[in-house]
Amino acid sequence: MPEPLIADERVQAATEPALAVSQLWKVFGPRADRIVGTPLAELPRAELLAQTACVAAVRDISFTVAPTEVFVVMGLSGSGKSTLVRCLTRLVEPTSGSVLIEGEDIRGADPRRLRDLRRHRFAMVFQHFGLLPHRRVLDNVAYGLEIRGVAKTERYRRAGEVLDLVGLSGYADHFPDQLSGGMQQRVGLGRALAVDPQILFFDEPFSALDPLIRRDMQNEVLRLHHEVGKTMIFITHDLHEALRLGDRILIMRDGAAVQIGRPDEVVGAPADDYVRDFVADVPKSHVLTIRWVMRPVRDDDPLDGPELGADVVVRDAVRAVLSSAAPVKVVHDGVLVGMVDDEAILRVIVAEEP
Ligand SMILES: Nc1ncnc2c1ncn2[C@@H]1O[C@H](COP(=O)(O)OP(=O)(O)OP(=O)(O)O)[C@@H](O)[C@H]1O
């Protein structure tokens, strides 16, 4: 698959990143702080373990996340996703590297500042909802505000608002065990949103839910993201979930970042065989945009065909392309950047046939 011909700057705005991670390592084990920067750090995981009894759970990872971006961390079990994300809030202490949250170095935060950041700037949603069983839904949602010392009337007002937002109006007085798994996770989402955090962290929040409910909840996250526009860091081992939710995806393997890219980049230009295997079964027409299938404009191209934006997904372009006698013109920022003809579209569709 050719590289897209033009860069997409949608996500990477010129503003300060919400999160900037640089050369982050987490090594577990005895004398873990003696590994980074030595030849031992280059050893494959199994050899490092055999020689030093240490595990490099996160290896030299760097990335930035733009404000309001949904950034997904994906990888197989044991690849280091949870450790990486826990390092970002110092639930796990990084071994080396830096983590800046809106420019603030959180590795330098003292315990008081850290507590403050966790109460005011971050919120977490976990797989096992972590709800308080003896408290009503309303109190569970209001919990973060209670910890912050917000007065009862105000926190109930806010919790009521959030219950509406997550589709649980009418359930304020229920207890968690009276709700289905999906609804309990909505309470978890509501509790996270109630404190109006700057960054929401999700650690495999939907893995325990059955597939239909899981899809519902993914839609819910997309809808909430659209409404509240928070920066979200989302861990999953499910590629389809990653592709649906992520503006960009970080793919991890054995603690290292194998690829960081938009869904269409991961599917259109997998960095190696590991990623290629991951994406082999993804219906390409659902993910690739027409910039991935367009060809350069030729002098003799008829220019009376329809026009489509370069970010239109192939699946949504099929009808326009196939029903037009002339090739479709692909435009980006008002400039003609390529052409798409029937053949290019059909190649993607036919490749998906079982
Ligand atoms: N506290 C710890 N002490 C020692 N090793 C650890 C610790 N926590 C994690 N590890 C190891 O670090 C590696 C990465 O684990 P991590 O839980 O971050 O992976 P993961 O991708 O989140 O996996 P899963 O999807 O199964 O949760 C694993 O080899 C794990 O055994």
Q: What does pLDDT average to over the chain?
A: 90
Query: Which residues are within 8 A (CB) of 286 and not within 5 positions of it... i.e. 6 or more apart?
Result: 313, 314, 315
φ and ψ at residue 69, rounded to 5 degrees: -75, 150
What's the whole-model pTM score? 0.89
* Range 217-255 burial, b when 16+ CB lie within 10 A, else e: bbebbeebbeeeebbbbbbbbbbbbbbbbbbbbbbbbbb
Distance 45 CA to ligand 1 centre (A): 12
pLDDT at residue 14, rounded to an integer? 54
Distance 79 CA to ligand 1 centre (A): 7
Q: From CA 14, how far away is CA 102, in angstroms rounded?
A: 13
Whether 215 lines ligand 1, by a CB cut-off of 6 Å, is no
Nearest atom, ligand 1, residue 237 CA = 25
Q: Whose CA is nearest to atom 5 of ligand 1?
A: 28
Kindly list the distances between the CA atom of residue 128 and the CA atoms of 12, 184, 202, 327, in Å, as whole numbers in the listed order: 33, 9, 11, 51
pLDDT at residue 9, rounded to an integer? 46
Could you tell me which of 323, 354, 336 has the C-alpha nearest to residue 6?
Answer: 336
Out of 58, 79, 237, mutate this one to test ligand 1's pocket (max ligand atoms within 8 Å of CB): namely 79
pLDDT at residue 354, rounded to an integer? 63
The CATH architecture annotation of domain 66-94+109-282 reads 3-Layer(aba) Sandwich (3.40)
Nearest atom, ligand 1, residue 92 CA = 1
Whether 82 lines ligand 1, by a CB cut-off of 6 Å, is yes
pLDDT at residue 8, rounded to an integer? 47
What pLDDT tens digit does each residue of the chain (354 aa) get? 544 444 444 444 457 899 999 999 999 999 888 899 999 999 998 999 999 999 999 999 999 999 999 999 999 999 999 999 999 999 999 999 999 999 999 999 999 999 999 888 899 888 776 889 999 999 999 998 998 899 999 999 999 999 998 889 999 999 999 998 889 989 999 999 999 899 999 999 888 888 888 888 899 899 889 988 899 999 999 999 999 999 999 999 999 999 999 999 999 999 999 999 989 889 999 999 999 999 999 999 999 999 999 999 999 999 999 999 999 999 999 999 999 999 989 888 887 766
pLDDT at residue 182, rounded to an integer? 87
CATH class of 285-351: alpha beta
Q: From CA 190, how far away is CA 194, in angstroms rounded?
A: 6
For 260-301, give the DSSP string: EE-HHHHHHS-SSHHHHHHHTTS-HHHH-BGGGT-B---TT-
Whether 81 lines ligand 1, by a CB cut-off of 6 Å, is yes
ipTM score for this prediction? 0.97
Whether 250 lines ligand 1, by a CB cut-off of 6 Å, is no
Boundaries of every domain in the chain? 66-94+109-282, 285-351
56 neighbors 218 (Cβ within 8 angstroms):
no
17 neighbors 231 (Cβ within 8 angstroms):
no
Q: Whose CA is nearest to atom 16 of ligand 1?
A: 80
Q: From CA 110, how far away is CA 113, in angstroms rounded?
A: 5
pLDDT at residue 217, rounded to an integer? 87
Whether 176 lines ligand 1, by a CB cut-off of 6 Å, is no
Q: Whose CA is nearest to atom 26 of ligand 1?
A: 77
95 neighbors 116 (Cβ within 8 angstroms):
no
Q: Whose CA is nearest to atom 13 of ligand 1?
A: 57
Residue 251: strand, helix, or coil: strand
